[in-house]
Structure 1
């Protein structure tokens, strides 16, 4: 008898994994997909960094986004591409062991990007940089929070949803949340620079 999880697949627009079958290794068994504070029906894309626990059988996504315009050293408002998974209250950061401060507002009125405002600047951030929701806060204390895999397929947020997490495989780096630091944190997932 199963644990009662359900799975709702969505249709992905482009593949993010190279190969299939024996080329991709999943963590054994499914995991209860935690909502992460986002609305039911929100789609979390395949390749999103994940934190899973084999004891509790729960998995959560690392909230990420991509900055679309250079931000100065004293900035408290950052332009982030639509489709990010950040929310008010997340600790906004660019790299591990750097500044991370809570998001106080997300303005979604622009059609091209959202303006993410933090209570204290995290410093200059270059366009196209990955930003993420740190598990910790402080001037030099940001963290990926134990990220240990990537989401196997697009996942819809909802009650009782299950997910699969890739622990070994090859991903198209240009199609998923990517930074050199994230690549280092997931050494068994190869990040291909192919298109």
Structure 2
């Protein structure tokens, strides 16, 4: 069992060899103890990795958010918020992903904001392509529709619309197909 006053290496030792859910239980109980900010961040990040590993993406995202809140360095905060946004995209929670992107942007300067936006846009593209590859066309269409709402270049917009036309055709969404075809 993990106790207050243990250092990170001792915690790692206690957790090694245990199953993911046992590790999650130990760490969650440990969070109820009075901990330093650094130790809280360590536990939140450890929990986030475990939740992501067990495909509990929304819980993992929440823990990255918590880690960002206890982080001191702006670069750390930004990285944790970006990871939170990525996990919310994978979990199909676009509103929370947008919130995480805004939180990351609030910690960044203007050039970093552009980088954050570009990174998030790439996460959306990768997720849409992953859905396409796994023949989850309705999910892919939703992600591409979200991409069309974002600030993207004209060439990207045209490419996404062409992919959406193909997906709408395969899904039998003739109304959406016709509307989008007129927009091209």
Q: Quick check: TM above 0.5? A: no
- Greater RCO structure (CA 8 Å; 6+ sep): 1
Instruction: Give the structure with the larger strand fraction.
Output: 1
TM-score, scaled relative to structure 1:
0.23
TM-score for the superposition, normalised by structure 2: 0.24
More helix by share: 2
Max radius of gyration: which structure? 2
